[in-house]
Amino acid sequence: MKHDQTQFDALDVARIRADFPILGLQVNGHRLVYLDNAASSQMPQPVIDRMVRYHTTQHANIHRAVHALSEIATNEYEAARRTLQHFIHAREDREVIFTSGTTDAINLVMHGYGRQFIGPGDEIILTTLEHHANIVPWQMLAQEKGAIIRVAPINDAGEVQIDAYRQLFNARTKFVGLTQVSNALGTINPVKEMVGIAHEHGVPVLVDGAQAVPHMAVDVQDLDCDFYAFSGHKLCGPTGIGILYGKAALLEKMQPFKGGGDMILSVTFEKTTYNVIPHKFEAGTPPIAAAIGMAAAVDYLSAIGMAAISQQEQALLDYATSQLQTLPSVRIIGTAPHKAAVLSFVIDGVHPHDIGTLLNEDGIAVRTGHHCAQPVMQRLGLPATSRASFAFYNTMAEVDALIAGIRAVQKVFL
């Protein structure tokens, strides 16, 4: 039985969809059903328009110059920083660093904090749910420094086992990296509790918020995390831009990750004096247009309201979950009671790549593979899954299209 969209709508989804020109595309003769939002969400026209306005009327390099365009560009760039500060409730705008994305932000912390404060025999705690971007940099550091990585396990539902996580801490623990929302399973971790446990031991925590910020309101002061990283392209903004939030006291102690222009106060061949935060960590010409575009995306989401977005996406997830559960030979992977709008599944006897290929023939875009989370797949005994991930502009009719597409896949293979 098909679901009536109006039964749950807190949002005018039809009006919202009109803001996203790409959703009108035809793929293989079918209207695009875009369910790959965890990889990259789509960009609304107001964000596109804002970036075009910058490029056509405001573009110049920022800082230092005194000509009009440079002053305008500088003001817009720094205004974007303040917009992001308010969005995540950072205490100060200098705690918000523009990066090229979540991966870049995590690497910044690894180089700037980890290489300075983590040494031989020290321990770093991660969770099984981590994206490769929050695993590989710490492995690189551990190899260089002789440090040890400890991993908090998950249960069969895809939840971190908090008691086991707590038991990993000891006098050698120096850092924790954890995801707020699993990109592979959708599990929402109890981050505030996990940060609190780490702080009981005096250990700083980096939170990978790439999959959380698009789905829910985030308050970094309430979480009390020491670092928080996320990307623009997953929250209706452009690619090539992201944010690292860090507590000012920690950022001031850290070494810069990259050297070059704008991250210095003075340079001689004998000595360089670094700039103040956040500029110390923004070497060279930054992605100015992308930063302004990311701020426009945040303004767009804020105007809709993160609570309304969460409600819409939860309804989509609940409906899709209930429908998938009616299909024979289909298993949902990741069944934690608290999930964001990510739905991974397998069809027994059918390779996920074949599922994705056949769904694409009907214009349905899902992600297939290990989702850059191979330890999760290994823990659950799977090579890969198919993943449908929802955004607030998706509809119940698109869920119905997904279910119909899966039935068509089953007819071919089973």
> Which residues have a catalytic role annotated?
372
CB 122 within 8 A of CB 201: no
Record the tokens describing residue 405, joined without a space.
Answer: 């597409």
What is the rounded radius of gyration, in angstroms, for the C-alpha atoms of the chain?
A: 22
Measured distance CA(395)–CA(401) in Å, rounded: 10
Q: Which residues pair with 339 in a beta bridge?
A: 187
Those residues with Cβ within 8 angstroms of residue 223's Cβ, 6 or more apart along the chain or in another chain = 191, 192, 195, 207
Q: Which residues pair with 154 in a beta bridge?
A: 160
Measured distance CA(400)–CA(269) in Å, rounded: 65
Record the tokens describing residue 263, joined without a space.
Answer: 């991250």
Those residues with Cβ within 8 angstroms of residue 322's Cβ, 6 or more apart along the chain or in another chain = none
Record the tokens describing residue 143, joined without a space.
Answer: 């190899």
SS3 sequence of 19-42: CCHHHHCEECCEECEECECCCCCC
3-state helix, strand, coil in the chain (%, to 5): 45, 20, 40
CB 165 within 8 A of CB 190: no
